[in-house]
Each structure stands twice: as structure tokens, then as C-alpha cells.
Chain A
Amino acid sequence: MFNYFLKRLLQSILVMLIVGFVSFSLFNFVGDPVNNMVGQEASEETREEIREKLGLNDPVYTQFFKFVVNASNGEFGLSYELRRPVSLLISERLPATLELVLVSALIAIFFGVLFGVYTAINRDGFVSNFILITSLFGVSLPTFVIGILFIYLFSVILGILPSFGRGEVVNFGFWSTGFLTISGIKALILPSITLSLFQMTYIIRLVRAEMIEILQTDYIKFARARGINNKVINNRHALKNGLIPVITITGINIGTLIAFSIITETVFQWPGMGLLFINAVQFVDVPIMSAYLIMVAFLFVMINFIVDIAYYFIDPRIRLKEEEAIK
């Protein structure tokens, strides 16, 4: 068992190193870091001084090494645009994004799997078709359009939900949460539903396709031939087999949500990492872009690792393959 995890861990570290390298290259080769720091007028000596201080004259591998060490400590330097430490900027924004993503993920996965399974078991029928048609709409509606629509409906016309910001937050430690205030929760509703909708429709269609395929397998047919009733077949057999792809979907889903949060945060002016990143792209603020890249990669890698662990416990074929390989 440890072998399996160790292998996965090593792979994860390798991926992080590669991402780190890409990030590092960004830093060094996109635009001139010195130019960005001091502007046009600085003299040649000042530039040379800064270059020396930033260690830009060292060989590439030394720079990379320093970069990796710094990055693992969360040290990414100063933002070109905002002149504040990147690590601070990120830690301020992180809770906002994570809370938004968490709530959206729960909504998307819960309803996605529920509707996906339902429409697979009840292939025809009004409710199924309704869900499927709505899901088709969902895939065609860009997230920002949904957001704008919601804002128009609930903020402009009905005026019951806020259209921007997080509402009141409660701080403890370095975390700030919006879960504990009414205005915080209210502010969370529209953005999280917007963010979850695109993913939910995706999940519905994926789960449905998986379940339908499972329901047509020989072992399900054999179970029916043995007289096991439909309910048990659906809930026990089909679902357990369907769990494996759902876990993969969940893993990828959270990653996609983090990416799409950029859009949602822009529409709703949600003060999270996504908004920070978009501004960084517009102004070519490389330190922030770099740091965001690494942060996001880290989250993905972690999620993948957890997914791999889950697979191990659910699919006996993987377990046994590993155990036999050791003998």
C-alpha cells in the first residue's frame, strides 16, 4: 500500500517541479523584471545593482533553486503593479475563493450526481427530459452570461440579493469567513449558483452516460436474471460501479471550479484570487501570475492525490494489483 502512495507522491512532486519551472521561466523571460520594477528613467548602474540584488546574474539553475526554495516558503516577491508582497495578496484573497469554490462544488456535485443518476434510470419521462433540456442550456450559457442574468433578475429587478462583494466577514487568524453572517451568506448565493451551474450540467451528462453504460453491462443483466430487484440493482450494484468515474469527475471538477471562479469573481466583483489573477494578466504582472500558477497547480495536485487514494480503497482491482506486484 505504501508503495502505491509513495509512487503517487513522487509523481506529484515531479509535477510541482515542472510547474515551478514554467512559473520560473515566466518570471525570467516574459518581459524584463528589472524594467518592471524601476521604470524607464533609471540609470544603467541602478539597473545593474538591482539585477545583482535580484540574483539575475547567477546561473539559471541557481536561480531556479532559489526560486523553488522561496516558493515553498510562500515567498514570491512583490507585485509589479500593486507593490505589495504577493504572498500577502494571495493569503488575503484565498479564503474568499475557497469558500466560493467549496459551496459551488457541493451544489454541483450533489445535484449533478442526483440528476445524472435519475435521468439514467428513468430514461423517458417528463422530468428526465426537462432536466436534460435544461442541462443542454447550461452547457451553452457561458458562466458570465448566467451571472449577468442573475444579477439583473435578483438585484436589479427584484432587489433581494446583492450583486457584488462578499458582505460582512468574520476574521479569525488569517482566515476570513462569510459563512457566519447573514449578509455574508446572502452575498454567497448568486455567485455560488452561477459558478456551479456550468459544472452541474456537465456532471449530469457525464454521470448519466456512465450509468447508462453500466446498466447495459453483462453483470447487471446477470443480476437481473438472478432475480435481484431493480431497486437493489440501481442503488447497490450500478451506483458502486458508477462511483469510480464520479470520483474522477469530482477531482477534475474542483479544479475547473477554481478556474471558472475567475469569471464569477469578475462578474460579481468577488474579492478572491481569480479577480487578482485577471488583473495581473491585464497588466502583465508576472509575480502574481507565477504565484497563482503555482498555487493552483498545488491545489490540483493535492486533489489528484486524494482522488488516487480514494480509488485505491474503492476499486479492489487496483488494490490487488499493487499487493501482487510486491510479492
Chain B
Amino acid sequence: MIPQIIKTFLDSDIGYSFKKSKVAIVSSIIFVTIVLTSLLAVVIAPYNPFDPKSVSLMDAFTPPIWSIGGSVDFLLGTDQQGRDMLSTMIYGSQISLIVGFASIIFAMVLGVFLGVTAGYLGGRYEIVVMRFTDVQLTIPSILMALLVDGIARGFISKSLHNDMAIYVLILAIGISEWPQFARITRAATLVEKNKEYVLASRIIGLSDIVIMIKHILPNILRPILVIATIGLSQAIITESTLSFLGVGFPPTNPSLGTLIRFGNNFLFSGEWWITFFPAIFLVVLALSINLLGDWMRDALNPKLKVR
């Protein structure tokens, strides 16, 4: 079944655009590789950096393999606790990706639901929803996430902070990202709602719910997909920013941002690799997603169609 889907994709207009764009191909390869690597972290990573037995302070501050003092055991060096950089990065990316995907899915479900219902049902409901959306859109997402994070911390006792971090972050980032889904979904819904095939279904007597799900939703997926892709990279960056600032993942369960945070302390003393490698990894991940999203936006834009 999957080969069939891939084949249909490659034959379509979008697939044509994909094949033509070297950028899209390369970035999707990179992205898929990163995702697979993090999914299979247990198998691929040379060490499990969270297993105290495999970590020894003796190995701390080992530089990468091509520097003086480097060793084959630790390809990219070790950090201040002796953990293998490569392994911590792979595990860290796992966390970053989980939070990224989960928060975007949360934001998407909430935002699309509100957007479609607001756009289709209209009335006071729409005005209220859009007010909320507009107001929240003027608040930068990082601030929103910080706020939710801060408030959540206030409610959760200090001892549970670290364990709950992942849920708090998914909630915080999800809440900060839903308005952009709501806005684009509502705009697209308004356009579809006035199309005559929707009127035809209403005349027959189909219920609003059926029309929204069967008729409107499948036709507005394109812009949602573009926003979701770009939103994913934003979510990953937001999470790493929060972790960097100290209000994200703790050092016991570090994401890429946390790793950069602690590596930063050693920048001046010469152990540049501790912060450098996670930073590059993060940038490559975000870049590959952004490139894909960019290509998608142009490929799915009906206005830019070359006939």
C-alpha cells in the first residue's frame, strides 16, 4: 500500500515539483534520516548516556576524534560528565522531535477544529473565536510558551518539575501555536463555504458536521500542511530555546537545547565541541524542515502554478 501511495505522489503535479527540486529531495532525506535515527536511538547510539554504568568521569572533556586527545570510542568527544556527545545528541534529538511533533499535533487539532467551526458556523461564535485568535497572535509564541510554562510550574510542586517537563512543554508550545492554525483554517473554510458544491450539499439537507468533515476539511488540507511543517521547525526551536533558558528539559533528560545550555559554560575554556555539535545538529534539523516547508508552500500554492 505504501509503494502505491508513493507512486501516486510521484506521478502527481506535486510529485513532479518534488522531483525537480533538488532542495526538496535532499532536505527530506536529511529529515527522514534524523527522524529514523532518533526513533532507533536505542539501537543506533553507541552508548546509552543515561545509564550511569556506561558513563565515567574519567572520560570527561574528551575532544572529538580528529583533535589531539580524541579517541575512537567517542567520535564527537564527551561532555563534562563523560557522556558520549554523539549518543547524547541522538537521544536529545529524540526528545526534541517528540515534543515537536506532539505539540504541533495538539496545536493542529485544536486550531483546525476551532478554525473550521468558526469559519463554517459563523455568528457570535466565530467572532469570539477570532478575537481570541487575533489577540493571541499578537503575543509572540515564545512569550506564550514561557507564560504557560511559568504558570504550570506554579501549580506543580518542585519535585515533580523534571518528570512533568515533557508534558508541560508539549502543552506550552501547543498552546502557543494553535492560533496560526485557527487563522489559516478559518480563512480557507470561508472560501470553501461559499463554493457552490457546499451550497448544493446544504440544499440537500446534509448536516453541518457532515459537510465540515466530508466536504470542507479535505479541501483545505493543503495550507494546513504547509503551516504544520513550518510550525514543526518552530516548535523544535521554541523547545530548544526554552530548554536553553533553563525552563525546558532538565539536565537529567536533556534535549538539544539543554545540551547547548550547559555546553555554553565551557565555550571560553576551550571545550567548544560540547556546545557546538548539538547546535549544528539542531540547525540542520530545523533547516531541513524549513526547506521542505518552503518547497511545499510553493508547490501547493495554486496561484504560483506554472501552467
Contact = CB atoms under 8 A, between A and B. Distances in A.
Question: Is there a direct interface between A and B, measured as CB atoms under 8 Å apart in the complex?
Answer: yes
Interface of A: 15, 26, 30-31, 136-137, 139-145, 148-149, 151-152, 156, 252, 255-256, 258-260, 262-263, 266-267, 277-278, 280-282, 284, 286, 289, 293, 296, 300, 304
Contacts of A30: 151, 154-155
Interface of B: 135, 138-140, 142-143, 146-147, 149-151, 153-155, 233, 237, 240-241, 244-247, 257, 260, 264, 267-268, 272, 275, 279, 282-283, 286-287, 289-291, 294
Contact of A278 (B147, B246, B282, B283): B246
A259 B143 contact: yes
A259 B140 contact: yes
A295 to B, nearest CB: 12
B154 A31 contact: yes
8 cross-chain pairs, A with B, having the tightest CB-CB distances, nearest first: A30-B154, A259-B140, A140-B287, A140-B286, A281-B150, A259-B143, A256-B140, A142-B237
Contacts, number: 99
26 contacts: A136-B291, A136-B294, A139-B290, A140-B237, A140-B283, A142-B240, A142-B244, A142-B286, A143-B241, A144-B241, A144-B244, A148-B267, A156-B267, A156-B268, A252-B138, A255-B139, A259-B142, A260-B140, A266-B245, A267-B264, A278-B245, A281-B149, A282-B247, A284-B150, A286-B154, A293-B147
Q: Name the residue in B153, B233, B240 with the highest tally of chain A Cβ atoms < 10 Å from its Cβ.
A: B153
A282 B142 CA distance: 15
Majority secondary structure of chain A interface residues (helix, strand, loop or mixed)? helix
A169 to B, nearest CB: 24
Contacts of A31: 154-155
B282 A145 contact: yes
A2 to B, nearest CB: 24
B155 A263 contact: no
Given A142-B241, A144-B244, A148-B260, 4 more contacts: A148-B267, A255-B138, A262-B146, A281-B153
